[in-house]
Amino acid sequence: MDRINNLKLNIQNRDACIAVIGLGYVGLPLVIRFSEEGFKTIGFDIDEDKVKKLNAGETYIKHIPEEKIAAVVKNGFKATSDFSQISNVDAIIICVPTPLGIHNEPDLSYIKNTLSSIKPYLKESQLLVLESTTYPGTTEEEIIPFIQTIKNSSLLPTRREGRQAKSSIENQKFTIGVNFYVGYSPEREDPGNKNYTTKTIPKVVSGYTKNCLELTKTLYDQIVDQTVPVSSPRVAEMTKILENIHRAVNIGLVNELKMVADKMDIDIYEVIKAAATKPFGFTPYYPGPGLGGHCIPIDPFYLTWKAKEVGMNTRFIELAGEINTGMPNYVVQKVGDALNAAGKSIKGSRILVLGLAYKKNVDDTRESPSLTIMEMLIKMGADVQYSDPYLPEAPKTRKFNFDLKSIDLTAENIKSFDALVLSTDHDSFDYKMIEKEAKLIIDTRGKINDSEKVIKA
């Protein structure tokens, strides 16, 4: 018990050193919170550009102000790609991506590569917490066996203690819950949300053993207002999946209703607004051009894949996925119909896409339907440009490589396009000017007032 008590005391006294691996939309806010609470923090990332920017006090995520980065650097934070420094920390939090493979199967390569990178530097009395979203069972099936195979070099005797002592324990391995600790705590970041922060969002925590849970809870108790302990990592992993499936299914439902309502000449946004006045039993969800972000378009497929392992089919979830994945096609069809009605075709038309980010007021384009819509329009022969105040240049991703820069949203520029596609409803867009100056607007977010030039999509 001395080991767990010492680590717990070090965490509570802010003497523990915290490592965060993966300095993106999840890892960077964690770094800031631990630093704000007085912890020594080290950030690890394989992207050298990120490392350099952070150490210079610069931000690369628009909704995270540069002053916060400068403050954590002043407090002693260091970013690095040198994983040997893992040997100097007490708690390790892994926040790396968990994308899908080409057949919508889980891709755990980032997690596995991270484990391989830190393996030589792990030592006894460390706490390892996975935050990456994944399928139920990942911690127990991937993390635990990996840790249990590592020879515990920190238990080896010194040279002075002689060969006999060394040979007696050189094959000792980590025992989870005794001399090494593993937890899982799913991230709940919502970039751009001003109402909830890393500190105020309740944090689900779990551990492989009772000791692991106690330490994981103690760690997050220092930086969030409320922790929510659950009985196992599987429960915590499933909790995160449920949260995002709940949204994906309801968004799929309202996207389907949008298409039905359109055929009936009913404004789905007016319907939702009216239904939302019911004070019980209804939660408003809003349609759009498709799902984006790293969670909602991906996480449901993690469960459908895992469900097949136990002989189950998740038909409801898969149907919602089909609807949401098909929404960019619906938008492009509406663009074509709108241009045809104006005596034009997509081929040869100048089309301006408003917003590349997957949701408003952020610079995150992961899985953004805007990128899919742009690619489809370009392949159909359109001259496509975009405007997004959060993204001065179109990002290069695994799927897309547009050589485009954001154009200024001026009256003159707007007039030069045959059609505008409102894909991301940033608050900074001047919607009155857009409505006034545009020749034709395909509105996927219900932001523009009804008029002859506005087509709901």
| Unique residue bearing structure tokens 């995150």 | 364
pLDDT of residue 295: 76
Answer for the pair 58, 25: CB distance below 8 angstroms, yes or no: no
Is 238 a member of any domain?
A: no
- Using CA atoms, how far apart are residues 75 and 125, in angstroms rounded to an integer? 25
**Residues 39-74 pLDDT 10s:** 999 999 999 999 999 999 999 998 899 999 999 999
pLDDT of residue 169: 43
Claim to verify: residue 95 and residue 140 sit in the same structural domain = yes
Claim to verify: residue 288 and residue 215 sit in the same structural domain = no
Claim to verify: residue 222 and residue 268 sit in the same structural domain = no
- Using CA atoms, how far apart are residues 457 and 445, in angstroms rounded to an integer? 8
pLDDT of residue 451: 81
Of 82, 177, 163, give the one whose Cα is nearest residue 125.
Answer: 177
The one-letter amino acid code at 260 reads: V
Check which CATH number belongs to the domain holding 372 and give it: 3.40.50.720
pLDDT of residue 163: 46
Claim to verify: residue 178 and residue 279 sit in the same structural domain = no
pLDDT of residue 292: 87
Is 240 a member of any domain?
A: no
**Residues 188-220 pLDDT 10s:** 988 878 899 999 999 999 999 999 999 999 999
Is 33 a member of any domain?
A: yes
Claim to verify: residue 214 and residue 281 sit in the same structural domain = no
State the total domains in the chain.
2
Is 245 a member of any domain?
A: no
What residue ranges in 67-224 does DSSP mark as E strands? 78-80, 91-94, 127-130, 181-184, 203-207
Domain of residue 110, residue span: 2-231
pLDDT of residue 154: 52
Determine whether 21 is exposed, middle or buried from the number of CB atoms within 10 Å of its CB (0-12, 13-18, 19+): buried
Claim to verify: residue 274 and residue 340 sit in the same structural domain = yes
Please tell me the pTM assigned to this model: 0.89
Is 351 a member of any domain?
A: yes
Whether 212 is catalytic is: no
Residue numbers of the chain with a pLDDT score lower than 50: 155-170
Claim to verify: residue 280 and residue 354 sit in the same structural domain = yes
Is 277 a member of any domain?
A: yes
State which of 165, 197, 231 marks the end of a domain: 231
- The HSE-up count of residue 373 (CA atoms within 13 Å, CB side) is 36
| Maximum C-alpha span of the chain | 89
- Using CA atoms, how far apart are residues 434 and 448, in angstroms rounded to an integer? 9
Claim to verify: residue 294 and residue 430 sit in the same structural domain = yes
DSSP 219-273: HHHTTSS-EEE-S-HHHHHHHHHHHHHHHHHHHHHHHHHHHHHHHTT--HHHHHH
- SS3 (DSSP) at 171: coil
Claim to verify: residue 207 and residue 277 sit in the same structural domain = no
pLDDT of residue 260: 97
**Residues 134-186 pLDDT 10s:** 999 999 999 999 999 887 655 444 444 444 444 444 457 899 999 999 999 99
Is 248 a member of any domain?
A: no
From 17, 95, 212, 295, active-site residue: 295
Is 275 a member of any domain?
A: yes
Claim to verify: residue 221 and residue 335 sit in the same structural domain = no
Claim to verify: residue 72 and residue 129 sit in the same structural domain = yes
Claim to verify: residue 189 and residue 321 sit in the same structural domain = no
Torsions phi, psi for 233 (to 5 deg)? -60, -35
